[in-house]
Every structure is written in C-alpha cells, then in structure tokens.
Amino acid sequence: MATENAPAGWLEDYFAVGGEHADIGIIFVHGFTGSPASMRPWAAFFEERGYTVSVPRLPGHATQWQDLNKVKWQEWPARVQVEVDKLKKSCKNVFVFGLSMGGGTTLNVAENNELAGICLVNPMIHIPGNLIKIAPLLALLQPGRSSVGDDIKKPGITEWGYDVLPTKGVVQLHKMLKETRANLAKVKCPTLLFHSVDDHVLPISNSNIIMSEIDSISGQRIELTNSYHVATLDFDAPMIFANSLAHVQQWS
C-alpha cells in the first residue's frame, strides 16, 4: 500500500456540481492515513445520479506520511467545515459521509452544524488499550509504526494510503476522538451507520459507543458481512451505496 501510481486526481480534492439533484450536497470524508481515493467510487455513485459531491483531502494525507505528523487535529474538521459552508450557499440540504477516522471527523462536524443527515462506515470514536496512554512518549521515540491500512477483503484493491502509521498523528487523532465523544449527544441529525462484522482495524465498541451516545432523531445500523474495514471499496460497497441513497432520499 502506498500513494504512488494512484489513478490521476484520486489523491486530490474533488468537487462536482450535480444535475437533477444539484441542490443536495454530500461530503465524503476519508480515514486516517487513507486518501480521497477510498471515497471516490461512493461519490461517483451519487454524482451519476445528479447530486453535488465533494471529496476533500484532509490535511496531512495523500502526500507523504511524515506530513501527518505535522498537523493538529482541529485541521481535519476545519477542512470539512469549509466544504459544509460552501455547499450551504447553493444546496438546501447537506449530508456528510465518513469512513473510519472520517466517521469521527463527521461526528465532530455534526456536533457543530445543522446537517440533513450523516452516514458512517466503520466509524472511529475511541482508541482502546494501554498503548495509547504512552503514545506521546512513543511518538518522540518512533515517528512511524506499521500501517493499519488496506484492510480490504476484495483482492487487488487498495485505498492508496500511507504504508506507515505516523505516531504524532495518532496522538492528534486520539485528542480529536476524546473531544468528539464528549459531545456525541449534540449529534441530532439522522444517522446511518454501517459496521463490518470482520473489521481488523477497529473493535465493534466504536460503533456501539456511537449508537448509544448520539441523540439522533433517527439512528439506523446495518451490518456488513462480506467486507473488512475499508468497506467503501469492498464487496459490500453496493449495499452501502444503495442504502445511503435511500437515506438521502428520505431526509432530503
């Protein structure tokens, strides 16, 4: 797994004004060490159906892994906020969809905005275990560790992310998740959550916490039985796309 040789433009910001449903905007937020490439097929599904779509590249991502050790966590929701503000100028409804850490970022943004709805795929809200407690010290001693990316069941598929886990970035990620979890009750918008039964990156506790602590007017959870963590690129992607479309249609 690496960012080299990715399809042209897939590691960059992507934005497209829709057709028939141009007044409904959807922002697609990728995961930690991942890239916009993991969200492009999902965005293309909606673009083909006439929706306005935005796939931002989060700061520190899709360049070189050392860059992810140089950002502060506030930069990630701030980048999504830019897209929310832009879409609200031309769209009557704005949705945010997030994968993994992008799910945590989506929840952070939902705590501070009125959104039409959100969709979360294997979202992240906490880092369990004792290792995270010494993460700041570890980050000083070891800038990078083994990657957690490309957990995909479908053969020959990559999310075009980093092949190193930047440790200072993990410290910032932990801070964002703690702040976001403390305010989950502020998430009021309709929420659709997809969870892979076989996820080798995040424990099921992440999805359980989110569904129990948000205060959404409508919370729905769908299990994915034929995908690993990066389910947006895996065998269950068509199920994700179809159900998220129904979610958007219901709450637009």
Cβ neighbours of 82 (radius 10 Å)? 13
Q: What is the pLDDT of residue 5?
A: 81
Q: Helices (DSSP H) in 36-146: which residue ranges?
A: 40-47, 75-88, 101-110, 135-141
Domain-by-domain residue ranges, the chain?
14-251
Q: What is the pLDDT of residue 132?
A: 79
Our CA angle for 234, 236, 237, nearest 5°, is: 70
Please tell me the distance from the alpha carbon of residue 17 to that of residue 91, in angstroms, as a whole number.
10
Q: Which residues contact 231 (CB under 8 A, 6 or more apart)?
A: 99, 121, 122, 194, 196, 224, 237, 240
Is residue 137 over pLDDT 90? Answer: no
- Measured in whole angstroms, the distance separating CA 10 from the mean position of its chain's CA atoms is 16
Q: Which of 160, 208, 159, 220 is nearest to 184 (CA)?
A: 208
Cβ atoms of residues 35 and 11 within 8 Å: yes
Options 1.10.10.60, 3.40.50.1820, 3.40.50.620, 3.30.110.40; CATH for 14-251 is 3.40.50.1820
Q: For 87-110, how does the pLDDT look when each residue is reduced to its tens digit (9 = 90+)?
A: 999 999 999 999 999 999 999 999
Share of the chain above pLDDT 70, in %: 100
What mean pLDDT value characterizes the chain? Answer: 95
What average pLDDT does this structure show over 127-136?
80
Q: What is the pLDDT of residue 183?
A: 98
More confident: 210 or 127: 210
Is residue 10 over pLDDT 70? Answer: yes
Catalytic site residue from 30, 61, 126, 229? 229
Q: What is the pLDDT of residue 251?
A: 97
Q: What is the pLDDT of residue 7?
A: 87
What is the 8-class DSSP label of residue 79?
H
Residue 100 bears catalytic tag: yes
Catalytic site residue from 199, 207, 234, 236? 199
| pLDDT bracket for residue 3 (50, 70, 90) | confident
| pLDDT bracket for residue 240 (50, 70, 90) | very high
Catalytic site residue from 54, 100, 216, 227? 100
Cβ atoms of residues 28 and 176 within 8 Å: no
Q: What is the pLDDT of residue 1?
A: 55
Residue 21 bears catalytic tag: no
Q: What is the pLDDT of residue 31?
A: 97
Q: For 147-185, how does the pLDDT look when each residue is reduced to its tens digit (9 = 90+)?
A: 877 899 999 999 999 999 999 999 999 999 999 999 999
What average pLDDT does this structure show over 68-78?
97
